[in-house]
A and B are shown apart, each in its own frame.
Chain A
Amino acid sequence: MNSLPLFSEIDPDANFAHRHGAWISRGQFHAAVLTLAAALPERARVLNMCHDRYWFAVSLFAAIARGSLTVLPNSAAPEHLAAVAAEQTDLLVLGDQDAPPVAHLPYFRVDTVAAPPAPAGTPIPMIPFDQRVACVYTSGTTGTPTPHYKTFGRLRLAVLAGAERLWHAAGAPCSVVGTSPIRHMYGLEASVLLPLFAGGRLSAQIPFFPLDIAASLAEVPAPRLLAITPFHLRKLLEADIALPPVAAILSATAPLSRELAREAEHRLGCPVIEIYGSTETGQLAMRAPCRDDVWQCLGATTLETHEGETWAHGPAYPTPQMLNDMIALLSPTTFRLLDRKANMVNVAGKRSSLSFLNATLAALPGVEDAVFCVPPGGTDTDVGRLAAFVVAPTLDRKTILTGLRAHLDPVFLPRPIVFVPALPRDGNGKILARTLSALIDQHLGGRKRP
């Protein structure tokens, strides 16, 4: 099986990471990775909980060098971490914080390693193409965290294919400022691996408020790529603050409306590129939403429709991957997105299924019947909170929310909860779409949405 060098061949003196006002060169990054790799205990699996994007990258690559799988939980919720730890046994937690980030698991602090630096001339490790390097989690349509394993060679292929488009749109390799969580596929690919594999510059900051985004952009040299979500992009534009020149905006996790894309292009004077992907597939296709609604597959990925489902094939996937959306294929490498599957909802970039949400709500003690719905007024590009109709004469709103919180990501908590005396179900026990529409009109029709 073929192997690839751990690090891309890039001038070791080139600036790589910007952290707390100082630059870390490629060579210094490589030395930090090899030093940590030598200091890490032998483990099959590590849990990377670093806050800082630079130390996250050092830990990820040190684990790869040691042949350890890096497990990336999709939230820090104790329930999720416990479920992950139960499945991925013998975990060592890597972090850059004083206090151990996960109770009951051994902790190794990565940013204060007291070890001799790796000697100059230490050979660059060769990594098998098929080495599993990362495990990312989806909440899954059943609500049970589902692991997805990523191999070194395939991750690298997908990121380099994306970089070709992005650097072309921006004019050159960029300093990347990203607002998304680094343990999610989008944040991992766009803000960590893209600068790392493809000759960009990494920012250690994960900015949140609009002013933070402006400050993080200002710290790094042009050209700059801003990797953001539609929701965050909208809030950034609404804040109406001065931003340094940006060479390209990258958006993913939820559909970006053409109106928002155009406003962003107009206000920031740069192209907007959108990614189509998922935790399962990683980044799969891109488009420039201001110009074209057609998606173009990345690299050598091709699509094929089989019995009503669309499957992605190519060197970036060990086996064909089924897509979660309804797609109109124009050619094996171009497509239009028709709709997400009827049962699927996306809130703030997180995906779940209505059937799972309904079952979870209905299973709470004291809930006699319940149904989630998508309230009117929201477009599918804004954060549309879900609402729920609940039959639960003995419960109040707070009890229901507390009950749900133990099972659901908080973005899916219903807002509002409408208590009703009964839910009209037909002879098959189903709530008809028109019945639900009538309930929505009656109870939620005049409601302003955030």
Chain B
Amino acid sequence: MQIMELHSTAQTTPDLALEKEMAALIVTALNLDIAPEAIVPEEPLYGDKLGIDSIDILEIALVVSKQYGVQMKADSEDNAHIFGSLRALTAYVGERRVK
């Protein structure tokens, strides 16, 4: 259910400012060889397109916890969805951020 809600939030009211900020954060944290704008918000973060692997996911989780006070957890099956795209990750962080 939570996943469904996340997706509907992501699709109706994307927080474009936060999305842009997070794209820049990810590019800097991972030393990605691309411009933040090159991350297409709807496309998968993990895998072939950006070359992000599980080591990077841990790095992103750390940056997100430092910047927004959101701690990631893998106990549900949500991670594939949360890291499914920049937009989904932004929605997840936007709902839970404490700073």
Question: Which A residues fall within an 8 A CB radius of B?
Answer: 207-212, 215, 231-232, 235, 238-239, 241, 348, 383, 385, 397, 401-402, 405, 410-411, 413, 415-417, 447-450
The reply to whether A415 and B51 contact each other, CB–CB distance below 8 Å, is yes
The count of chain B contact residues (Cβ–Cβ below 8 Å) is 22
Decide if B8 is an interface residue (CB 8 Å cutoff). Answer: no
The reply to whether A212 and B32 contact each other, CB–CB distance below 8 Å, is no
Decide if B43 is an interface residue (CB 8 Å cutoff). Answer: no
Decide if B25 is an interface residue (CB 8 Å cutoff). Answer: no
Looking at the complex, which one of B28, B32, B48, B58 makes contact with A208 (CB distance below 8 Å)?
B58
Decide if B42 is an interface residue (CB 8 Å cutoff). Answer: no
In the assembled complex, how far is the CB of residue A193 from the closest CB belonging to chain B, in whole angstroms?
24
The reply to whether B31 and A209 contact each other, CB–CB distance below 8 Å, is no
Looking at the complex, which one of B33, B51, B53, B61 makes contact with A209 (CB distance below 8 Å)?
B61
Give chain B residues whose Cβ lies under 8 Å from the Cβ of A210: 61-62, 65, 71
In the complex, besides A208-B54, A235-B58, 8 extra interface pairs with C-beta distance below 8 angstroms are A209-B74, A210-B62, A215-B75, A235-B59, A235-B61, A348-B55, A416-B33, A450-B31
Report the Cα distance A402→B47, complex, angstroms.
11
Closest to A241 in B: B71
Report the Cα distance A402→B51, complex, angstroms.
9
The reply to whether A411 and B58 contact each other, CB–CB distance below 8 Å, is no
Give chain B residues whose Cβ lies under 8 Å from the Cβ of A239: 62, 65, 71
In the assembled complex, how far is the CB of residue A387 from the closest CB belonging to chain B, in whole angstroms?
9
In the assembled complex, how far is the CB of residue B69 from the closest CB belonging to chain A, in whole angstroms?
11
Give chain B residues whose Cβ lies under 8 Å from the Cβ of A231: 55, 58
Looking at the complex, which one of B32, B62, B73 makes contact with A415 (CB distance below 8 Å)?
B32
Decide if B30 is an interface residue (CB 8 Å cutoff). Answer: yes
Question: Which B residues fall within an 8 A CB radius of A?
Answer: 28-34, 48, 51, 53-55, 58-59, 61-62, 65, 71-75
The 4 closest A-B pairs by CB, nearest first: A416-B33, A450-B31, A410-B53, A209-B72
In the assembled complex, how far is the CB of residue A392 from the closest CB belonging to chain B, in whole angstroms?
15
The reply to whether A415 and B58 contact each other, CB–CB distance below 8 Å, is no
The reply to whether A415 and B55 contact each other, CB–CB distance below 8 Å, is no
Looking at the complex, which one of A212, A232, A448 makes contact with B75 (CB distance below 8 Å)?
A212
The reply to whether A211 and B59 contact each other, CB–CB distance below 8 Å, is no
The reply to whether A401 and B51 contact each other, CB–CB distance below 8 Å, is yes
The reply to whether B48 and A411 contact each other, CB–CB distance below 8 Å, is no
In the assembled complex, how far is the CB of residue A157 from the closest CB belonging to chain B, in whole angstroms?
32
Give chain B residues whose Cβ lies under 8 Å from the Cβ of A208: 54, 58, 74
The reply to whether A385 and B58 contact each other, CB–CB distance below 8 Å, is no
The reply to whether A212 and B74 contact each other, CB–CB distance below 8 Å, is yes
Report the Cα distance A410→B75, complex, angstroms.
25
Give 24 pairs: A residue, B residue, CB < 8 Å, sorted on A.
Answer: A207-B74, A208-B74, A209-B72, A209-B73, A210-B62, A211-B71, A211-B72, A215-B73, A215-B75, A235-B58, A235-B59, A383-B55, A397-B34, A405-B51, A411-B55, A415-B30, A415-B32, A415-B33, A416-B33, A448-B28, A448-B31, A449-B31, A450-B30, A450-B31
The reply to whether A232 and B74 contact each other, CB–CB distance below 8 Å, is no
In the assembled complex, how far is the CB of residue B96 from the closest CB belonging to chain A, in whole angstroms?
12
